[in-house]
Amino acid sequence: MMGQAAVERIGRNAGMTAWKGWLFLFALLAVPAWAAQAAETPYTDEVAFVDHLNDLPADIAWMQAHDKPMMVFFHASYCGYCQKIDDEFIIPMRLNPKYQGRLIIRRVQIDGDRTHIAADGNREGPEAFADRLDVRGVPYVLFFAPDGQRIGEITGTAPGFYNHYLERNVDLAERCAPDMGPAACRQFVDRPGLR
C-alpha cells in the first residue's frame, strides 16, 4: 500500500507530465505557423521589413537593388507620444500585409545605446545620427529614397490624422523611390539625407 507522500508525488509528476505534453504540442503546432509566416515575408533572406537600424550600408544597397524606400521612426524611452504612435501605427504597419514589399522600416531610439554602421562604414550612435538628420524632437518619422535623399517627414503627433500622414508619405516614398525627378519628390533635397 502506498503512503500519502508517494500518492502526492505521483500526482505532482502526472501534473508536470501533462503540462510538458501540452507545451510540446503547442511548440509543435506553432513552429509550422511561424515558418509559413517567415516564408511569406519578402525580406527574410536579405533585409528585415521592420528592424532597429543596424547596418545602413546594407539597407541602402538593398533599397537600391529593389527600388524601395526606407522609413525611419525616431523615438525615445521617455516619450509617451512615441509609444502611442508605435502602438497605434508602427506596430500595425509591421503586421499589415499591404505595407510589406513597399518599403523597409527602421527604428532608432535616440536615448538608447544601440549603435549602427553608418553610411561611411563607421559605428554611429543614435544621438549623432538624429543630429546629423536634424531631428529635433520625437516622435519623428523620415522617408528616404534608395539613393539616400530625404523624400518626406512627419513631425510630432496628431493621432487623429497620423494615419493619413503616414499613408500619404508611404505612397509618395514608393512613387519617388524609382524616380526622384518629380517636384513632389524633391521638396526635401536641401535637408540632410542618409549619406
Q: pLDDT per residue over 122-134, tens digit each? A: 999 999 999 999 9
- List the alpha helices (DSSP H) in the chain: 4-40, 56-66, 80-85, 91-95, 126-132, 159-176
Dist CA 117 CA 56 (whole Å):
6
Q: How confident is the model at residue 13 (pLDDT cuts 50, 70, 90)?
A: low
d(CA 33, CA 194): 36
- In this structure, what C-alpha cell is assigned to residue 82? 512615441
Predicted pLDDT at 74: 96
Model pTM score: 0.75
Task: Name the least confident of 2-6, 42-46, 55-59, 63-67.
Answer: 42-46
Q: Does residue 14 register a pLDDT over 70?
A: no
**Lowest pLDDT segment from 20-34, 93-107, 151-165:** 20-34
* Total length of the chain: 195
pLDDT above 70 covers a percentage of the chain that reads: 76
Report angle CA 81, 103, 189 to the nearest 5 degrees. 80
pLDDT of res. 142: 95
pLDDT band at 171 (very low <50, low <70, confident <90, very high): very high
CA gap 143, 148 in Å, rounded: 9
